[in-house]
């Protein structure tokens, strides 16, 4: 007697074979043994994943990362090998210029200069009829270009030779024919003749034809030569200046008229015929056997006039390009990119965090980076300019000392200018009148006068120099130090840092070559000093910093010799480079103490009469000076630059020796932090090679300031090693109410003692939470759970914070899909709309997805497999990275996929199409690396990125025949049933197959027994579906699928399988799997399945 079972849910997803023996749990009955190219729906069913739209081809292996400013302003970043490109609004971000010349006729040759191989061949992209030969392997010339995937970087000796051919000459001695040349070149301001491209022998009277060059006067010139080599036609652009340094696009055209008026030169999209001239009597060029050279010419029997920078995308045409064609070449799409410090491998190891238009990037082998968006086509990436640190533990060996010696003093020749507020000095031949000194202080060690360099005009420098209210002249022979005051060396000044031993030994040798770029902290003690701060008798704001005191920490101020009712005074305060501000007025004798918390603060006192005195006492001040190593000399001497001002011996350029010093925490020697995040308005970094279990924070609200004070302010930067009973390398950090820290062996809770209070240097602690053990893939949050991979990658943990116990707990999200990550994970991203899905990638290129709706008890895995049309379990497309950004109606899922196309390995950057394609079935998109044609009726479409590949076609709402993209052109001829058929809306790309297979047929255990191990046979399968086309279903028996076409017709209402399509074929088996397949480029969504079966009575 046949029985029926209603399978209402698939939302436990694909379950491991280890669950086959557990029909006693609900997850078994809501799961599937296979779920490929589908995702589970929170409502219970499953939906075929949408196809992927081809966006661009990547230059090499690449990692995609999100950059989200707002819900309406999101980009995808493409990190490849030392290159960074950008995607926005479904397209790659582009600037002026193009590498695609297909819209122009009469192309003679097109050297894209993208070649990057261990040979010297330079391909002509226009049919390879004019391939060139480089003087070195193209891999040695390859560099980042302006368009496409590369350019050639010439250093003044290399070039590319293209053998002579009739099509490269344009004259017969009596008449000329028209031609044009286009090229990108990088102008670096180098003088001297530099050929961009030429056919110019210059060895005999009949060896010169044409050339495009930057001449010795930095003028871009296009010239044609008559056969006597002296008569010529030429057109020149305006002079290139240093301000023109950078990429430029040139198009030169000639109409064949033998007149200079037939020449035109377009520079960067604009006509620039500064000079057009004829030299001698020009008649026509003569075809010679001279070869064409890119980046040089053949002069006097040898290659010469070599180009000295980059050239990209050179093309020649056998006609005169019109002005609109020339301008179109420049204004058309060109991919915008910048140089990145990361290789392709390193790009997968970075961690990022973002604040507005700035992204901070961590990598263990690179100085932390700051990626800034100034505009969509204007980005910068540079080392983060940290101030104040961080540093390692301070030196504890009193014998080990450091001392800084600055630039030597210089004798100045002084001449008064007659003014009252400045003095003009004339240089005596030394180098002190340098623009870089503007803004720096100058100190006269002879008289004590000080001021600030305010101007520099050739050999004169104007200096504000007031002290005590009277002008102090710098006299002839006075010794002045630029960048020094009586007590401090300015930041920006250079010098040497020397390590010594107090006992004259040689143990203290802290430097090595990998310290270049590192910071060093020098702490100097200034004892209690009772310093008169009298400044002038006007009670106006102080004008001289010489008698001001730089203070941080406790101080005492006292006023004496005060006549009440007559005298008055004011205490002034100045922070950094700001203005003096009145801090406190006085009209009677007084004394008080206070504490200064801020950095770089000066105090000064002014009074109404000279008999008054004020005394300012800075208590045991510790001055923190920072230098950065710029060059290595030996293990005890390095060249440095002052990052902050340094406290020096009075009226010298030398600091006191100090044993209070510390080495920077991060350097090429010590390593750099591997992870970064924001938490409580601080920027946090963690885990260097030298300190794998340490976290560092910025000051509160100052993300690049890593300074901590000696008085322990609440907003100070923070350094905190976890100090557990084992060293466990921190892998990631994630901010919630408290911060979760994932380390290799444990997970930690970090925060203040009270989770409702902020972290401060005096209130912070880390508490071990779980011993799941974390991997280095940056985690993601979904529905209040932090998802992170275990160190070995086999498990995905879901961490949640329990506000009652104030602890984190971790569940294993892969428990029921136990072997899903036998191939290790490589990337992870989170989609929230239309469903909550975690997208991951594996080393084998399969893409596991996890739908997670805990409120509905939905948690189900599936596998997205690219290129599986021949074998559903085998992928020919390798997904290497994934990123998710906000979209207009759904979150956008982007991926990079490695394919072998026409025998070449390529990387396609693709975007998954939205699940909701609208009301018209013709807009449904279910192909990979696909494109859409939506225009007038056509018999063909083109997929230049899929040349030679078999593509699936869905046109005008119907499945067309699979087709092969032409191996040369990528053209696809549309056919249906073998007959050429036109269509107006065409979705075409690589095919893929969806397959969902139930668990072994079972019912929950009962007193009547179980179906497990019993022989069963499926009679029929009824699938309830919605928004679906075609499809098939049936029984899988003995490894063979016995499927019946479902014949689903598209409807937005749910439907059941037509009665004539329900019969299942196949024999008896213990398993009784039901399989649903969709292998056409169409949608399919299953809501439930009714399975009719019978059980053999005896076993």
In this predicted model, what pLDDT tens digit does every residue of 142-184 receive, in sequence order?
987 777 778 999 988 999 999 999 999 999 999 999 999 999 9
Which string of b and e fits 637-654 if b means at least 16 CB within 10 Å? ebbbebbbbbbbeebbbe
* In the predicted structure, residue 482 carries a pLDDT above the cut 60: no
DSSP-assigned letters across all residues of 697-747: E-BTTBTTB----TT--TTS-EEEE---SS---EEEEEESSSEEEEESS-E
Query: Residue 421 has what pLDDT?
Result: 35
Alpha-carbon gap, residue 886 to 693, rounded angstroms: 34
Whether the predicted pLDDT of 946 surpasses 80: yes
Residue 212 clears pLDDT 50, i.e. is over it: yes
Quick one: CA dihedral 11, 15, 20, 21, positive or negative?
negative
Residue 98 banded pLDDT, cuts 50, 70, 90: low
Give the pair of three-digit tokens for residue 324.
């609109």
pLDDT computed for residue 239 by the predictor = 81
Q: When comparing pLDDT for 453 and 910, which is higher?
A: 910
Four-point Cα dihedral 838, 839, 840, 841, nearest 10 = 170
Closest C-alpha to 930, from 941, 920, 919: 941
pLDDT tens digit string along 672-726?
999 999 999 999 999 999 999 999 999 999 999 998 876 668 899 999 999 888 8
pLDDT at 1046: 92
Mean pLDDT of the 457-465 span: 44
Q: What pLDDT sits at residue 464? A: 42
Q: Quick one: pLDDT at residue 261?
A: 94
Instruction: Give the pLDDT band of residue 505 (cuts 50, 70, 90).
Output: confident
Mean pLDDT of 993-1002: 94
Annotation: CATH topology of 107-335: Jelly Rolls (2.60.120)
pLDDT for residue 1024 is more than 50:
yes
Mean pLDDT, range 764-781, rounded to an integer: 94
**Higher confidence at residue 528 or residue 306?**
306
Which token pair is 220?
């871009």
- What backbone torsions phi and psi does residue 316 show, to the nearest 5 degrees? -125, 145
Cα–Cα distance, 367 to 769 (Å, whole number) = 31
Residue 325: is its pLDDT beyond 50? yes
Q: Please tell me the predicted confidence (pLDDT) of residue 503.
A: 83
Whether the upstream peptide bond of residue 868 has omega within 30° of 0, thus cis, is: no
468/117: higher pLDDT: 117
Q: Please determine, for residue 553, whether its predicted confidence score (pLDDT) is greater than 90.
A: no
- In this predicted structure, the answer to whether residue 867 has a pLDDT above a threshold of 90 is yes
What average pLDDT score do residues 112-129 get? 88
Task: Kindly tell me if the per-residue pLDDT of 552 is higher than 60.
Answer: yes
In whole angstroms, give the CA distance from residue 88 to residue 84.
14
Please report, in angstroms and rounded to a whole number, the separation of the first and last CA atoms in the chain. 16
Mean pLDDT along residues 339-351: 97
**Are the beta carbons of 696 and 761 closer than 8 angstroms?**
no
Q: Residue 214 above 50 pLDDT?
A: yes
pLDDT of residue 336 exceeding 70, the answer is: yes
Task: Using pLDDT thresholds of 50, 70 and 90, give the confidence band for residue 247.
Answer: confident
Domain 350-390+665-775, second-level architecture: Beta Barrel (2.40)
The residue that leads in pLDDT, 447 or 946, is: 946
- Of the ranges 267-281, 475-489, 722-736, 976-990, which is most confident? 976-990
Choose the weakest-confidence range: 581-585, 859-863, 977-981: 581-585
pLDDT at 1097: 65
Q: Give whichever of 294-298, 539-543, 688-692, 900-904 has the largest mean pLDDT.
A: 688-692
CA dihedral angle for residue 864, residue 870, residue 876, residue 878, rounded to 10 degrees = 0
| The dihedral formed by the CA atoms of 104, 109, 111 and 115, expressed in degrees to the nearest 10 | 120
Mean pLDDT estimate for the chain: 86
- pLDDT given at position 616: 79
In this structure, what DSSP letter does residue 394 have? P
Res 541: pLDDT: 64
Residue 1027: which pLDDT band, with cuts at 50, 70 and 90? very high
Cα–Cα distances (Å) from 631 to 41, 509, 635, in that order, read 61, 15, 12
Q: Provide the pairing of β-strand 292-294 with 194-200.
A: antiparallel
pLDDT band at 636 (very low <50, low <70, confident <90, very high): very high
708 vs 747, higher pLDDT: 747
Is residue 469 within 8 A of residue 446, CB to CB? The reply is: no
pLDDT value for 467: 37
Instruction: Please name the fold of domain 528-619.
Output: Jelly Rolls (2.60.120)
pLDDT band at 108 (very low <50, low <70, confident <90, very high): very high
Lowest mean pLDDT among 17-21, 325-329, 486-490, 821-825: 486-490
pLDDT at 1002: 83
- Cα 63 from Cα 936, distance rounded (Å): 37
Both tokens of 257, joined, read 């008229």
- 3-state DSSP call for residue 692? coil
pLDDT of residue 432: 37
Rounded mean pLDDT of 78-93?
Answer: 94
Q: 921 or 458: which carries more pLDDT confidence?
A: 921
- Asked whether the whole model's pTM tops 0.75, one would answer no
Domain boundaries, the chain: 3-35+1013-1095, 107-335, 350-390+665-775, 400-524+631-639+650-663, 528-619, 927-990
pLDDT over 60 (residue 48)? yes
The two domains 350-390+665-775 and 528-619 share their CATH topology (first three levels equal): no
**Per-residue pLDDT reduced to its tens digit, 346-402:** 999 999 999 999 999 999 999 999 999 998 888 999 999 999 999 999 999 999 999
Q: Check residue 540 and give its pLDDT.
A: 63
> pLDDT at position 152, please?
94
pLDDT for residue 1059? 75
* Structure token digits, residue 673: 């932090």
């Amino acid at each position: 007697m046949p029985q029926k079972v209603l399978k209402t849910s698939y939302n436990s997803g694909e379950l491991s074979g280890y669950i086959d023996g557990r029909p006693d749990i609900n997850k078994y009955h809501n799961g599937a043994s296979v779920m490929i190219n589908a995702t589970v729906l929170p409502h219970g069913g499953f939906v075929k994943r949408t196809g992927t739209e081809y966006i661009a081809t990547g230059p090499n292996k690449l990692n995609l990362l999100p950059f989200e400013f707002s819900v309406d302003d999101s980009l995808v970043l493409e990190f490849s090998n030392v290159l960074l490109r950008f995607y926005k609004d479904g397209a790659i971000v582009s600037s002026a210029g193009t590498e695609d010349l297909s819209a122009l006729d009469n192309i003679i040759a097109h050297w894209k200069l993208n070649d990057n191989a261990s040979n010297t061949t330079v391909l002509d992209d226009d049919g390879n009829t004019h391939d060139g030969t480089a003087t070195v392997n193209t891999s040695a010339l390859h560099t980042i270009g302006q368009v496409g995937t590369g350019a050639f970087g010439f250093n003044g000796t290399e070039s590319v030779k293209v053998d002579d051919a009739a099509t490269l000459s344009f004259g017969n001695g009596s008449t000329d024919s028209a031609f044009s040349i286009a090229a990108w070149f990088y102008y670096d301001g180098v003088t001297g003749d530099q050929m961009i491209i030429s056919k110019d022998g210059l060895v005999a009277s009949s060896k010169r034809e044409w050339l495009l060059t930057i001449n010795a006067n930095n003028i871009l010139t296009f010239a044609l030569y008559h056969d006597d080599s002296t008569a010529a036609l030429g057109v020149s652009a305006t002079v290139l200046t240093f301000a023109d340094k950078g990429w430029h696009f040139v198009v030169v055209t000639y109409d064949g008229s033998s007149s200079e008026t037939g020449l035109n030169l377009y520079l960067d999209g604009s006509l620039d015929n500064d000079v057009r001239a004829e030299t001698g009597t020009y008649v026509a060029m003569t075809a010679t056997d001279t070869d064409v050279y890119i980046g040089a010419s053949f002069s006097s029997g040898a290659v010469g006039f070599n180009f000295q920078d980059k050239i990209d995308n050179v093309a020649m045409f056998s006609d005169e390009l019109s002005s609109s064609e020339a301008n179109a070449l420049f204004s058309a799409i060109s991919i915008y990119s910048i140089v990145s410090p990361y290789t392709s491998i390193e790009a997968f190891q970075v961690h990022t965090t973002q604040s507005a238009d700035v992204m901070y990037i961590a990598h263990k082998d690179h100085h932390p980076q700051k990626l800034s968006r100034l505009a969509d086509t204007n980005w910068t990436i540079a080392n983060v300019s940290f101030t104040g640190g961080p540093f390692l533990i301070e030196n504890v060996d009193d014998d080990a000392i450091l001392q800084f010696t600055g630039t030597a003093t210089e004798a100045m020749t002084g001449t008064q200018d007659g003014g009252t507020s400045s003095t003009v000095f004339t240089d005596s031949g030394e180098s002190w009148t340098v623009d870089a000194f503007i803004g720096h202080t100058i100190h006269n060690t002879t008289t004590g006068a000080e001021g600030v360099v305010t101007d520099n005009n050739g050999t004169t420098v104007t200096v504000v120099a007031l002290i005590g209210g009277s002008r102090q002249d710098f006299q002839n022979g006075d010794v002045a130090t630029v960048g020094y005051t009586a007590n401090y060396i300015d930041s920006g000044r250079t010098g040497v840092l020397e390590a010594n031993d107090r006992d004259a030994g040689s143990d203290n040798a802290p430097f090595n070559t990998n310290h270049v770029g590192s910071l060093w902290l020098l702490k100097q003690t200034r004892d209690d000093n009772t310093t008169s701060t009298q400044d002038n008798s006007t009670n106006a704001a102080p004008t001289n910093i010489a008698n001001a005191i730089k203070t941080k920490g406790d101080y005492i101020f006292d006023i004496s010799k005060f006549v009440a009712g007559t005298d008055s005074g004011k205490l002034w305060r100045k922070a950094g480079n700001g203005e003096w501000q009145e801090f406190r007025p006085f009209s009677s004798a007084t004394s008080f103490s206070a504490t200064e918390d801020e950095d770089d603060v000066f105090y000064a006192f002014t009074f109404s009469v000279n008999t008054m005195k004020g005394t300012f006492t800075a208590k045991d001040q510790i001055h923190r000076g920072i230098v950065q190593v710029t060059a290595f000399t030996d293990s005890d001497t390095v060249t440095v630059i002052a990052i902050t001002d340094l406290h020096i011996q009075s009226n010298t350029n030398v600091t006191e020796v100090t044993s209070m010093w510390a080495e920077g925490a991060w350097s090429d020697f010590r390593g750099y932090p591997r992870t970064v995040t924001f938490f409580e308005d601080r920027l946090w970094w963690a885990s260097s090679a030298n300190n794998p279990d340490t976290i560092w924070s910025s000051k509160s609200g100052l993300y690049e300031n890593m300074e901590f004070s000696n008085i322990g302010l609440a907003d100070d930067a923070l350094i905190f090693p976890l100090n557990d009973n084992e060293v466990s390398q921190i892998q990631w950090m994630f901010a919630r109410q408290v911060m979760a820290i994932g380390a290799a062996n444990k997970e930690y809770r970090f925060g203040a003692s009270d989770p409702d209070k902020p972290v401060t240097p005096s209130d912070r602690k880390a508490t071990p939470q779980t011993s799941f053990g974390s991997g280095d893939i940056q985690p993601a949050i979904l529905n209040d759970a932090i998802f992170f991979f275990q160190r070995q990658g086999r498990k995905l943990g879901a961490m949640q914070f329990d506000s009652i116990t104030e602890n984190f707990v971790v569940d294993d999200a892969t428990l029921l899909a136990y072997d899903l990550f036998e191939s290790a994970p490589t990337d992870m991203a989170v989609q929230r709309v239309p469903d909550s899905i975690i997208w991951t990638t594996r080393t084998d290129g399969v893409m596991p997805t996890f739908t997670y709706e805990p409120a509905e008890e939905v948690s189900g895995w599936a596998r997205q497999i690219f290129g599986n049309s021949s074998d559903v379990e085998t992928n020919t497309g390798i997904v290497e990275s994934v990123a998710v950004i906000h979209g207009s109606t759904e979150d956008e899922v982007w991926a990079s996929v490695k394919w072998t196309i026409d025998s070449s390995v390529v990387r396609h950057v693709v975007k998954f199409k939205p699940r909701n394609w609208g009301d018209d079935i013709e807009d449904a998109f279910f192909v990979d690396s696909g494109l859409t044609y939506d225009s007038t009726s056509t018999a063909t479409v083109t997929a230049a990125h899929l040349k030679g590949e078999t593509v699936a076609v869905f046109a005008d709402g119907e499945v067309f025949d699979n087709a092969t993209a032409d191996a040369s052109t990528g053209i696809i001829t549309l056919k249906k049933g073998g007959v050429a058929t036109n269509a107006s809306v065409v979705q075409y790309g690589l095919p893929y197959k969806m397959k969902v297979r139930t668990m072994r047929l079972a019912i929950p255990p009962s007193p009547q027994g179980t179906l497990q191990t019993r022989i069963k046979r499926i009679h029929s399968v009824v699938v309830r579906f919605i928004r679906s086309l075609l499809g098939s279903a049936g029984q899988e028996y003995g490894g063979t699928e016995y499927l019946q076409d479902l014949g689903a017709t598209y409807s937005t209402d749910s439907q059941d399988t037509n009665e004539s399509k329900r019969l299942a074929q196949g024999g008896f088996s213990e398993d009784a799997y039901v399989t649903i397949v969709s292998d056409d480029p169409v949608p399919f969504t299953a809501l439930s399945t009714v399975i009719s079966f019978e059980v053999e009575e005896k076993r």
